[in-house]
Amino acid sequence: MEQKSGMYAGGGLVGWMLMRAFSGKYLCPSCGEVAVSELPPATRSEIMMKKAGLVVGAVVLLVVVIGVLVAIRR
């Protein structure tokens, strides 16, 4: 996977999770890189669920890190 610059560069784990969630390509083991729109509906649905999980996980991770930092400063 190529490295991204800009908003993902300094984002650490949260940035990586968001980058993976919003990437428009899928790596097929036998075909190589294909667009998600070219995949069957069942596969697209599975990919969308994984992407939603990554976004939710990134938000939860960010909230937890902020919470820990606030707790440490008290």
Identify whether the C-beta of residue 58 lies closer than 8 Å to the C-beta of residue 66. no
56 belongs to a structural domain: yes
Provide the residue range defining the domain that includes 55.
6-73
Rounded to whole angstroms, the Cα distance separating 10 from 52 reads 22
What would the pLDDT profile of 43-56 be if each residue is shown by its tens digit?
889 989 999 999 99
23 belongs to a structural domain: yes
Name every residue whose Cβ is closer than 8 Å to that of residue 25 and which is 6 or more positions away in sequence.
Answer: 33, 34, 35, 36
1 belongs to a structural domain: no
What would the pLDDT profile of 5-25 be if each residue is shown by its tens digit?
554 455 688 888 888 888 777
The tally of domains found in the chain comes to 1
SS3 70: helix
**For range 23-30, the mean pLDDT:** 78
